Amino acid sequence: MSEAPRVSRPTAIDVLAAAVARVTPRALHPRIDAVRLDLRQMVRSLTVEKTHPFSSSSEPLEVPPSLDEISVLDALLPKPLAERVDAVRRDVRAMTRPARNEQSPVVVPIRAQPAAVVPIVAPAAAAAPAVPLVEEASRAVHPRTVRVLEVRRETEDATTFVLEDPSGAALSFHPGQFVTVIVTVDGEAHRRAYSISSALGELPRFAITVKRVRGGVVSNHLNDRVREGETLEILGPSGSFCLGETSAERLYLFAGGSGITPVYAILRDVLANDDRARVTLVYANRSKDAVIFREAIDELVRDNPERLTLLSVLEQSDEYAQLTGRLDAENCAAVCEVLEVPTDARCFVCGPEPMMDAVRATLLARGVDRANIHEERFSSPQRRTHEAPASRGGHSLEIRYGKSSKKLTTRPDQSILEAGLEAGIDMPFSCTMGGCGACKLSLVSGTVDVVEPNCLLESEREAGAILACVGCTTSDAIVEIPE
Ligand code: FES
């Protein structure tokens, strides 16, 4: 069996391209990247053919690092010094976080509410802290085409798609993040967010796992029609449902059904990379046959008996279940009691809405710090069912970014994102459906209608955050793209 391709060390061309990218607008990055890859290919074809014309290539295939991954610092400084500088940079960033009004990574809940429009009024200037963008949002701006290398049936209604950028460039992501898949079905373009289910060690390949949703246009299209060799358009990665740099010593993962996908990526990452990790996975499903990644998770438990505990909850009675029933408030309380979940536990929760509500309430009741409960919720975008009021759009809008700003006029019912992009501003965005938070802006003055449901937290709304992709001006307004 051939070895998996590995990401090569950055060449001088890569470093030069990364340095140029640091000082140019994000909109130019795809062009810079394309030139970089072409130059690499040219240089490679010249040198490889001269020195190894008949190489049998027992070495694993190497692929170039993605532009985002290339550290100019690492390339220019001796390794110890580069690490030191990087550590100092991280420390300074962490120390100044409060001053920048940044909190723990943003969680992206979507509440099950009827579609509605909520007017948001800019709070008093002094009370409006900057709302941090979802980390890595800048990478989400431009769609990329990826090839489907493998289609793997996980369960009767869930399929894993192994993907790769045809250029060989590796996707730069954190375990727990998602990509937005863009597909055209019956002439209409649809976007849906799907968590990455593969581990970093598999790069440049990565995978998404898609479970059918009853009546779901995209999930059924992917499960039924997409085959190996085809291509998909994706945006991202996006999202902050990630472990970050803190230890996973007391890590509790709660997953329900297809909510396992981001949790599985996190689980594999910590077991592979953090020797101190002590992980408990509580995984709720309808039946044994519905358990996605069942064999792989069982294998992880066998390989890591001291570090990974699995508690399987099934609605149907089965020997695979430690607990029979739904993971509702009562069962969740019992589970947490048995597991003795400590107050300093770090918890990640992803699954159906009622399960997540039950887990959150139980953890809070046990005294777990709210900041240590990380949740990921996805919901299909709702069609706008409201009549767009005449007042939506048609206003003067000032968009501030960094030290610059631009004034424009929104058209009726035009989103702030559309207006900003049309004006040539490098607006951050990913899903364009209110589900990821990548397009979050601060409303400095004026009023904006935002379509519900969306991923804004109550505290973010109160602080004046809006989503550019589902927000329209209802008066003259000023908004700011957070640094
Ligand atoms: S782009 Fe995802 S919420 Fe706006």
Please name each of the domains of the chain with its CATH number: 6-92 (no CATH), 116-137+387-481 (3.10.20.30), 138-238 (2.40.30.10), 251-376 (3.40.50.80)
Tokens of 126: 């002094």
435 Cβ inside 6 Å of ligand 1: yes
Q: What's the pTM value of the predicted model, to 2 decimals? A: 0.63
430 Cβ inside 6 Å of ligand 1: yes
CA of 238 to the centre of ligand 1 (A): 10
Query: What is the pLDDT confidence band of residue 96, given thresholds at 50, 70 and 90?
Result: very low
Look at residue 48 and tell me whether its pLDDT is greater than 60.
no
434 Cβ inside 6 Å of ligand 1: yes
> End-to-end distance of the chain based on CA atoms, in angstroms?
47
Predicted confidence at residue 205, as pLDDT, reads 96
Look at residue 98 and tell me whether its pLDDT is greater than 60.
no
Higher per-residue confidence, 6 vs 209: 209
Long-range contacts (CB closer than 8 Å, 24 or more residues apart) made by 52-58: none
Query: What is the pLDDT confidence band of residue 7, given thresholds at 50, 70 and 90?
Result: low
Look at residue 102 and tell me whether its pLDDT is greater than 70.
no
CA of 381 to the centre of ligand 1 (A): 11
Please tell me which of 64-68, 298-302, 431-435, 469-473 the model is most confident about, judged by mean pLDDT.
298-302
Query: What is the pLDDT confidence band of residue 339, given thresholds at 50, 70 and 90?
Result: very high
Cβ proximity of 141 and 428 under 8 Å: yes
Mean pLDDT of 201-220: 93
Mean pLDDT of 276-300: 97
Cβ proximity of 286 and 278 under 8 Å: no
Predicted confidence at residue 64, as pLDDT, reads 61
Cβ proximity of 472 and 448 under 8 Å: yes
Could you count the other beta carbons within 10 Å of the beta carbon of residue 213? 16
Higher per-residue confidence, 246 vs 118: 246
Predicted confidence at residue 126, as pLDDT, reads 34
Mean pLDDT of 350-359: 93
Query: Per residue in 8-29, is it b (16+ CB within 10 Å) or e — as a string?
Result: eebbebbbbbbebbeeeeeeeb
Predicted confidence at residue 345, as pLDDT, reads 95
Report which of 262, 238, 241 is spatially closest to residue 107, judged by C-alpha positions. 241
Of the listed ranges 29-38, 330-339, 380-389, 452-461, the one predicted with least confidence: 380-389
Look at residue 430 and tell me whether its pLDDT is greater than 60.
yes
Query: What is the pLDDT confidence band of residue 225, given thresholds at 50, 70 and 90?
Result: very high
Residue 176 and residue 162: Cα distance in Å, rounded?
16
Give the residue, out of 142, 177, 430, 448, with the most ligand 1 atoms within 8 A of its beta carbon, to mutate for a pocket test: 430
Predicted confidence at residue 14, as pLDDT, reads 77
Tell me the average pLDDT of the chain: 78
381 Cβ inside 6 Å of ligand 1: no
Please give the C-alpha separations between residue 12 and each of 52, 74, 85, 171, 399, in angstroms, as whole numbers: 21, 12, 21, 21, 37
Query: Which pLDDT tens digit goes with each residue over 370-391?
Result: 989 998 876 554 444 445 556 8
Please give the share of the chain, as a percent, with pLDDT higher than 70.
Answer: 71
Please give the share of the chain, as a percent, with pLDDT higher than 90.
Answer: 48
Query: Which pLDDT tens digit goes with each residue over 159-191?
Result: 999 999 999 889 889 999 999 898 999 988 888
Mean pLDDT of 30-45: 68
Atom of ligand 1 nearest to the CA of 430: 1
Query: Which pLDDT tens digit goes with each residue over 450-479?
Result: 987 787 877 788 889 999 999 999 999 999
CA of 138 to the centre of ligand 1 (A): 12
Mean pLDDT of 240-258: 88
Cβ proximity of 255 and 285 under 8 Å: no
Cβ proximity of 221 and 230 under 8 Å: no
CA of 237 to the centre of ligand 1 (A): 12
Residue 461 and residue 122: Cα distance in Å, rounded?
10
Predicted confidence at residue 21, as pLDDT, reads 72
CA of 410 to the centre of ligand 1 (A): 19
Please tell me which of 17-31, 100-114, 204-218 the model is most confident about, judged by mean pLDDT.
204-218
Look at residue 344 and tell me whether its pLDDT is greater than 70.
yes
Question: What does the DSSP assignment read for 121-158?
Answer: EPPPGGG-PPPPPPTTGGGGSS-EEEEEEEEEEEETTE
